[in-house]
Amino acid sequence: MALCRNGQTDILGSGKETIFLAALATDAGRPVSQDTLIHRLWDDDPPGQPRASLHAYVTRIRRRLRSLDADGLLVQRTRTYTLDLDPGRIDCHRFQELTARARAADDHGDEERALSLLREAEDLWRGEPLAGLPGLWAEHVRGVLGERRLSAHLVRCGIGLRRGRFAELVPDLTALLDEHPTDEVLAGQLMTAAYGCGRQADALRVYDTVRRRLVEELGADPGPALARLHGLVLDGAPAHALLPRPQSAPPAPDTLPAHAELVGREAELAVLLDNGRALTASSKVIALQTVSGMAGVGKTHLAVRAARLLAPDYPDGRAHLDFRTHTPGQEPLTAEAALTSLLRTFGIPADDLPHDLDGLSALWRAVLGGRRAIVVLDDVADARQLRPLLPGTSPSLVIVTSRRRFTGLPGIRSVELDVLPPADAVALFRAVAGEERSRRTDEVTEIVRLTGYLPLAVELLAGRLASRPTWTTAHLLRKLTRGHGRLREIRHGIRGEIVRAFEVSYHALTIEEQTVFRFLGLRFGPDVDAHVVAALSGISVEAAEDILESLLDSHLIQEPAPERYTLHDLLGEYSRAVVMSEETESARESAIRRLIDFYVHASDAADRLSYPRALRPHRARPVSGHPAPPWPDAASARHWLLAQRAGLVAAERHCRTRGLPRQAALLASALAGFLDDEGCSADAWPLHEAAARYWHAAGDRRSETHALIDLGNALSRCGRYDEARTALVKALDGANTLGDSAAGAEALHQLGVLAWNRGQLSTALDLQSRTLRLRTAAADTWQIARCHNNIGITHIYLGNFESARENFDTALTEFRRSGDLREYGRVLNNLSDLHMKQGDTRSARDALHQALNCLSESESPWEIAITRVNLANTMESPAELESMLALYRESLDTFRRLGDRRNAAETLRATGLALQGAGRSAEAAEHHRRALAEARSVQAAHEEAQALHALGQAEDALGDAGPAAAHISEAIDVADRIGAASEAARARQSLAALRQHLTAHHRAEGGW
């Protein structure tokens, strides 16, 4: 191997030097740790002093690079080395980008561009990668690159097959199959090519050979795709029937947020519009616009307004992504998370997403490469965070907002957003305060000058004037000019004079009010109540209520919901700045600890009131110097948990990451029932996973067992069935070791539910029967009733209707005796399902109406919503469509209010099915797409599979056979992945019916 530059060549002296450079090149532009390099050079058998040897290679290579005037390419930092090159100059990275762009072009029907890109990619190959280099790492790289090359060959061959070039593809495919003898996709392409040449016997021979190899080497039969081709060849189908159907492009997304009318900013807006339109009218790429400026200056407002106005010029989509860099209580998005979100927005299936940053970035450039879209990247931290999201040579427009100025990025056009010009600031003030209240131009001009012309400050003061009927602009001006406090700069470079509006309001407060305002800067969630404020500030609840009212009157806080309070983001930033400057570290830590102690104590109390029969380990009850709210009943406690959810989850994360693992584990335990009830399992399982680790480390096996049960339940609800089973089996082992029969019974119960979800009905029945024996031995009548309910559900799906009815009757009797209306209503819900399976719609509806009466008394909006969905499901479309839609709408509103996206997904799917029954297939498909988005947002895999299946059926009804087959196939893949056998079987039946219908249609049309 040699280094070459400007006609000069330097032959490397050893294989280790070559591996070292190759190891850096595979991560070009990114630091590689010394430990990683040592592993790549010597596998698991390094020399006695590997770092010294590594340093020797670095010295030699740097000397060689220096001779080529390129020593700056090798950058050394603490325990890392970086090859400072654009990844696009490295063949393997360039190959990956070109093939990703080729796939995207092929997906959009541009076969010529796809073939051109694939040829360019293939030209990069010059023999075997890392040829002659020893070691496991080099072998692994060769294998990965070989697979990527094979994947590119398959794309090229797929295009050739669609173009009917069967004969010329047979030799290439034969050679490839010799190298990859068990690759079913490759075998399918060779069968298609041979059959297309009229060589039916050769095609069948390929199938037989591959089938034999699969059985001998892997113990498996060919998959359904290859078996389908075999059947078509045997039936003498036309060659084109063997070809995969092209997928249609996903609809153009539009996720730009709504915004108020923009006041001022004509010049800046004109620049953005001119640059955006220049891109559409010229071949020159102007892909990146940045809008930078201080907090509160209106960057997002301007960017979104420009994107809206440019929308007609960019028909392929408009997307907005908030990086949350300065959002309190939330972690900023990583580049990987941002790319994943954007790719999903543009319709890339989750299963098609790469797992590494380079792969995601290459796919993103490929997706935008053939599109004319607008992407607004909001609140980006810095150029390093942005660089992987650059669009490359694309006709798309990316608008970036940031508090920082960007330099050194390719194709960048910058707009630096300063404060408003005086005339625009006056216009904004009058737009908010009203013309009648702001007629005195001189006074308004002076007021906006004192705000520093910051849009947010102007809006706040104008709003304050508008809400004070007795105030005049002269009075407001006096309040602004008589303050004597020193002006301080807020973080991120806001100038001191801009703080004056906030400082005047702050120093007009009483000492007690100032204290509360300061400590609001330490809150965890976006909004708070008086009890949280009392704990933070160390005052009584009554005092907190009075002070919050005063702050509300001063427009320093807002009340988005009754007795819930929040701060605008810039005022929140000011509050944090003040608490950091005016309170000692000890005082801040004491305030946060008071709040955490209150959250632990109050969430435990709310959990016990809301779920009195829930399984809990025996631990000392948490205490706090501040009492929990005096909830009158369980519903009130649940409402408090719902309102505090963001703060409680943020507090748990703070405890988990700031050295308070016990408090984090206690919060996870207290929130388990609530998060499960509200469909927040995707948020819940990381909490329970951390809690299980903590209790294990602490040696508290009982608490660990209970945390594992919570973890297994949350994972199961997310469709992560294998991980759920692992956690629950471990919990069961722990319960048996401890002799904790209650925990053992609950673990068995959850394993039974898991088996039911996977369609393993006999296993589910066995597990539930074992659970019942344990509950019976403990003489726990409520839990016994719960077991009978679950056993009844399983018997329904086993077709044992009499047994199901007997179990439901027993459950109803016991829940009625215990006075538990919620569980009684749940059983009635399940009983209605039994009636429907028996064809008795009237009895099913009667049971559901009884359930609604019970659940109304128990004040359970979530259960009521589920029952309404079930009631709508008993109705027939189109005869009862309007009643069905009304019930679905009510339930969907409830699920959205509660944040239950999993049940929202199910309700949207049910709505789509009702619309489909009325022949409104286009509306049905749209509801199924929304259901799919909701399910994926919380990783609800079972609901995802159902939504994909339903979407495919709706598309089939619309005549979109290609997308229909693709979505139903994806539903099968998802269901198979999570082990949902019954759902997978239903989807396979639909896919078979679709294909049979297409075959009959082709025959009727004379397509044969």
Structure tokens given for 332: 């900023």
How wide is the angle at C-alpha 840 spanned by C-alphas 834 and 846, nearest 5°?
A: 80
Contacts of 686 (CB under 8 A, 6+ apart): none
Q: What is the reported pLDDT for 284?
A: 43
Query: What is the band of 1000 on the pLDDT scale with cuts at 50, 70, 90?
Result: low
- Judge contact between 817 and 788, C-beta under 8 A: no
Query: What is the band of 325 on the pLDDT scale with cuts at 50, 70, 90?
Result: confident
**881 CB burial (10 A radius; 0-12, 13-18, 19+):** middle
- Judge contact between 818 and 785, C-beta under 8 A: yes
- Judge contact between 555 and 571, C-beta under 8 A: no
The backbone region for 538, taken as left when phi is positive above 0, alpha when psi lies in -120 to 50, beta otherwise, is left
**909 CB burial (10 A radius; 0-12, 13-18, 19+):** buried
Out of 331-335, 607-611, 738-742, 849-853, least confident range: 331-335
Query: What is the band of 1005 on the pLDDT scale with cuts at 50, 70, 90?
Result: low
Mean pLDDT of 323-352: 76
Mean pLDDT of 35-54: 78
Share of the chain above pLDDT 90, in %: 29
Task: Say yes or no to pLDDT of 1 above 70.
Answer: no
Mean pLDDT of 583-606: 95
Highest mean pLDDT among 166-175, 254-263, 780-789: 780-789
Letter string b/e over residues 416-441, b meaning 16 or more CB atoms within 10 A of that residue's CB: ebebbeeebbbbbbbbbbeeebbeee
Task: Say yes or no to pLDDT of 952 above 90.
Answer: yes
CA dihedral (138, 142, 148, 153) in degrees, to 10, reads 170
Q: What is the reported pLDDT for 1003?
A: 59
Kindly report the backbone phi and psi dihedral angles of residue 554, in degrees, each rounded to the nearest multiple of 5, phi listed first: -85, 0
- Could you report the per-residue pLDDT of 47-104, keeping only the tens digit for each? 777 777 777 777 777 777 776 666 667 777 767 778 777 776 777 777 877 877 777 7
Task: Say yes or no to pLDDT of 776 above 60.
Answer: yes
Average pLDDT over the chain reads 82
Q: What is the reported pLDDT for 260?
A: 66
Task: Say yes or no to pLDDT of 300 above 90.
Answer: no
Residue 400: beta bridge partners?
290, 377
Task: Say yes or no to pLDDT of 487 above 50.
Answer: no
Highest mean pLDDT among 324-338, 591-605, 992-1006: 591-605
Query: What is the band of 408 on the pLDDT scale with cuts at 50, 70, 90?
Result: low
What long-range pairs does 73-78 form, CB within 8 A, spacing at least 24? 74/24, 77/31
- Of residues 31 and 799, more confidence is placed in 799
Q: What is the reported pLDDT for 486?
A: 25
- Could you report the per-residue pLDDT of 866-905, keeping only the tens digit for each? 889 999 999 999 999 999 999 999 999 888 876 677 788 9
Highest mean pLDDT among 114-118, 402-406, 623-627: 623-627
Highest mean pLDDT among 43-52, 325-334, 865-874: 865-874
Mean pLDDT of 500-510: 69
Query: What is the band of 791 on the pLDDT scale with cuts at 50, 70, 90?
Result: very high
- Of residues 509 and 494, more confidence is placed in 509
- Of residues 606 and 346, more confidence is placed in 606
Mean pLDDT of 242-262: 70
- Judge contact between 29 and 72, C-beta under 8 A: no
- Could you report the per-residue pLDDT of 423-449, keeping only the tens digit for each? 888 988 888 888 888 888 888 998 888
